[in-house]
Amino acid sequence: MDIYIDAKDSIAGRLASRLAKELLKGNRVFVVNSEQAVISGNPKWVGEQYVERVNRGDPYHGPFYPKMPDRVLKRLVRGMLPYKKPRGREALKRLKVYISIPEELKGKEFVKMSEAENRLEGKFVTIGELSKRFGVKV
């Protein structure tokens, strides 16, 4: 079964956990508008934490952290899967994440997360804004 999800204004962590659960059930999941998913917290603090992760380790041996918004969201989902085991690897292969809406998915009907899960009243930053700090053109 194919599931099409619009990540616009969705809290990234909650979205990622929901996607991981669907992938482990055996569904194929397509996510669009990944650059508009949000990370809660003070934007300055969130940016500093991410810079710390990117600069950690060795540029040749890792750990490697993505800078593109679609790859960031996929990495979030990967962290919630047992990706070192065959079941998790297969699940991750069933996930496709896109920036905006690609041509091949234009006519599809997208599901949004429920409003109760997306209630965010404090400070936040979108994944697209976070990526722009690294020089990525979204």
CATH assignment at residue 48: 3.90.1180.10
Domain count, the chain: 1
- What type of residue sits at position 38? V
Q: Is 40 inside a domain boundary? A: yes
- Percent of the chain with pLDDT strictly greater than 90: 72
Measured in Å, how far apart are the chain's first and last C-alpha atoms? 30
SS3 (DSSP) at 41 = coil
User: How do the pLDDT tens digits run along the chain, 138 residues long?
Assistant: 899 999 998 999 999 999 999 999 999 999 999 999 999 999 999 999 998 988 888 889 989 889 999 999 999 999 999 999 999 999 999 999 999 999 999 988 998 877 656 677 889 999 999 999 888 887
Domain that residue 96 falls in: 2-132
Q: Is 138 inside a domain boundary? A: no
Asked if 39 and 12 count as a contact pair (C-beta separation under 8 A), the reply is yes
Q: Is 137 inside a domain boundary? A: no
Helix 86-93 × helix 12-25 angle, to 10°: 110
Closest CA to 110 of 38, 21, 39, 9: 9
* pTM for the structure as a whole: 0.90
Q: Is 113 inside a domain boundary? A: yes
Asked if 81 and 88 count as a contact pair (C-beta separation under 8 A), the reply is yes
